[in-house]
A and B are shown apart, each in its own frame.
Chain A
Amino acid sequence: MNVIEVQGLKKDYPLGKTIVHALRGIDFSVEEGAFLSIVGPSGSGKTTLLNIIGCIDHPTAGRVRIHDQEISELNDKQITDLRLHRIGFIFQSFNLIPVLNVWENVEFPLLLMKDKRKEEIAARVERLIRAVGLLDYMAHKPAELSGGQRQRVAIARALVGNPDIVLADEPTANLDSETSESILKLMRELNEAERTTFIFSTHDPEVLKYAGKIVKIKDGMIVGQE
């Protein structure tokens, strides 16, 4: 079954008097449980594509379906709830809440959900912090962590709400190669353990050996899939 279906996706950015065609008609679908990598040179449209799939940007044309739900039909609140319950984000720049410690950062989405019981929340948070190997750092604030550790917190946070998809735009771009490798391994493990679909972008060929399916894009168009 497909978690995501993208059809005829286009995105134009007005830039002064000209128009930048960031996406020129993208069609593809992602199966449940996939570990998909979007690859392409700088400026090819990777970020733009992930933002649209993640419902934080709107396409100029085309359709995106998540679990048979057409995104363009939803209002702001529904889209926010969809992001909360169905999508996990891992940002290139880690993006944690500075005033919350590791435990609280991971817990944050569950508290927003409001329908979770205390014990349920505690169990889930602990499971994920254990999974990313940060049990000893639970009480640390983001500023007291290394880049790799922060990205692990972000991964735990992205997965804590049991989303359908985790989106990660160049999750390793700010990390050294050794740390990158461990982060990708972790993502792969969680992908298998939790059966969560992962979509991440990269322009680093090294990263590709961890990928399952690969979608190559260039100048806003898909130029190959493998």
Chain B
Amino acid sequence: MGLTFKIAWRNIWRHKGKSLVIGVILFIGALLMTVGNGMISGMENGLSENIVNLFTGDILIISDEQEKDNILLDLMTAKPLKVIKNYEAAREVLESEEMIADYLPAASGLVFLLNPRSEMGSVYLLGVDIDRYQRMFPNSIKITEGRIFERGERGVLISEFARKPLYDFMEYWLLPQDGILDESKLPEEAKEDLANLDVRSDIVFMGASDSNSTIDIRVPVTGIIEYKALNKIWGYYCLVDIESFREAHNYVTGADRAAELSPEEEDLLATEDLEDLFSSGDLFTDVITDESITLDQLREETARELVDYDLDDGSYNLAFIKLKAGVSTQEALAKLNRVFREKGIKVRAISWKEAVGAIGSMAVMVKAALNLFIMFIFFVAMIIIMNTLSMAALERTSELAMMRAIGARKGFLRRMFLAETSLLSFFFGGLGIASGIIVIYLIRAADISTTNEILQLLYGGEKLSPLYTSADFLLGLVELGIVTFLSVIYPLRVVGKIVPLDAIVRE
């Protein structure tokens, strides 16, 4: 132990009160920072697990004409997704790929609704083959009323989260067919006026498209669902049978669009009925590889499904992929995209994180709030320590000045002060970090779970499970180091300003 540390160590004991103030602040600061960092790690971990397991899988396949990757809940633009054109070729790849545990082709997008006042509303639908959905995401949904529609049956599952806004807009309450009205779930104003409550068991919607033509379809509501977690996010989506989704998006026919075409394209289109041209998957593939036809929009909008008994023959606009355990998402992404490119399949694979851009940003906001909280603690701790240390420096002026007078350099005094603060920071900060880790494990052991959606976002799922990783430990040490360093800068300036003359007491 050098001279500086010896003096620093003894000064800590001599000025117990001040040391304790600084120590307690460092302890609390380090503890809160540790728990905060653990919460952030746990949130990130939980969110990714819940998102991957409940909704997106590890990787998504989308048309490579899709401009942006954040295709799920892109609440900003809400443009319809581009249809995957050579899905059959993509399917071959997915079927044969070793790394893939399971996959689910689907169609996702916004559909429009008209209310009695002829205003236009919208709701997100995910069209799936329900059997495959349940195989891919087991336990993802819980049926709260009614039943899940059968495979091949037309039906929509309304989420509890979407039910109330739908009521507000449509002015009727959605109840599954043959369902019994649960009055407790009704919005307040509906409860007050039960006699006039309009209850319906089907919903009419039309597909969203860049053009004006869409088809209205009426789909029975077979059940009400709740997602296992993160209903604030997934609740935007109602599940619908894939065939109804396709029908609703049965876009423009040739006759309407021909007016906008160039003469030679018109010629081409005039030769055959577009309905016939695009009515089979094979022909469709031929058309898109023919460069002489550059009717991008027309092509995708007329990529009409075959309403066949084989659900998989129709169009999809995305596919969710679940990888086998232990497979790296990055590697799988790279490989899939390479294969797609080599085989000329016009799709691309994206990670779930890219797909949920919007949700990601919600998580980022929660994370930012947590970080802000940590920074606040950081700041308060810094100010208090800075103040206490500066006062300590001033109180010891004559002692420090005497040291200068008898030959100690400024650097010596600074080192002494730094040593004192570092010792406190090391001991109390270390204690705080250790306690923080214990608190994190206590929280995990306490099994705190919530049904509150905002809290679920904070928890990263139903259960509050903060996580402590070695990265968090390093982060904690760095944060502690920064607090110590920043809070000692000003006191060190104060120390540096002490001159030997201050040692002379004059009456």
Interface residues of B in 470-503 (CB under 8 A from A): 499-501, 503
Instruction: Give Cα A113–Cα B3 distance, bound, in whole angstroms.
Output: 12
Instruction: Give Cα A88–Cα B407 distance, bound, in whole angstroms.
Output: 9
Contact A56 B407, CB 8 Å, known A98-B14, A99-B7, A100-B7? no
Q: Which 5 pairs from chain A and chain B are nearest by CB?
A: A84-B407, A99-B10, A56-B500, A95-B402, A83-B407
Q: Does B373 contact A (CB under 8 A)?
A: no
Question: Would B10 and A89 count as touching, CB distance under 8 A?
Answer: no
Instruction: Give Cα A35–Cα B412 distance, bound, in whole angstroms.
Output: 33
CB-defined interface of B36-47 with A at 8 Å, one 1/0 digit per residue?
000000000000
Interface Cβ pair total, 8 Å cutoff: 69
User: How far, in Å, is B241 (CB) from chain A's closest CB?
Assistant: 81
Q: Which residues on the A side are within 8 Å of B499 (C-beta)? A: 56
User: How far, in Å, is B366 (CB) from chain A's closest CB?
Assistant: 48
Instruction: Give Cα A92–Cα B505 distance, bound, in whole angstroms.
Output: 8
Contact A89 B406, CB 8 Å, known A100-B7, A111-B3? yes
Q: Does A109 contact B (CB under 8 A)?
A: yes
Q: Which residues on the A side are within 8 Å of B505 (C-beta)? A: 91-93
Q: Which residues on the A side are within 8 Å of B185 (C-beta)? A: none
Question: Would B14 and A95 count as touching, CB distance under 8 A?
Answer: no
Q: Does A57 contact B (CB under 8 A)?
A: yes
Question: Would A169 and B3 count as touching, CB distance under 8 A?
Answer: no
Question: Would A98 and B409 count as touching, CB distance under 8 A?
Answer: no
Q: Which residues on the B side are within 8 Å of A95 (C-beta)? A: 398-399, 402, 503
Q: List 17 A-B contacts (CB under 8 A).
A: A47-B504, A47-B506, A76-B410, A80-B408, A83-B406, A85-B407, A91-B402, A93-B398, A95-B399, A95-B402, A99-B10, A99-B11, A104-B6, A109-B406, A109-B407, A112-B408, A112-B412
Known: A47-B506, A80-B407, A99-B14. 6 other contacts (CB 8 A): A89-B405, A89-B406, A91-B504, A95-B402, A97-B7, A113-B407
Binding site for A on B (CB under 8 A): 3, 6-7, 10-11, 14, 398-399, 402-410, 412, 499-501, 503-506
Partner of B406, one of A57, A99, A100, A108: A108
Instruction: Give Cα A51–Cα B398 distance, bound, in whole angstroms.
Output: 15
Q: Which residues on the B side are within 8 Å of A100 (C-beta)? A: 7, 10
Instruction: Give Cα A112–Cα B413 distance, bound, in whole angstroms.
Output: 12
Question: Would B503 and A80 count as touching, CB distance under 8 A?
Answer: no
User: How far, in Å, is A47 (CB) from chain B's closest CB?
Assistant: 7
Q: Which residues on the A side are within 8 Å of B398 (C-beta)? A: 93, 95
Q: Which residues on the A side are within 8 Å of B403 (C-beta)? A: 97, 108
Question: Would B404 and A80 count as touching, CB distance under 8 A?
Answer: yes
Partner of B500, one of A83, A92, A161: A83
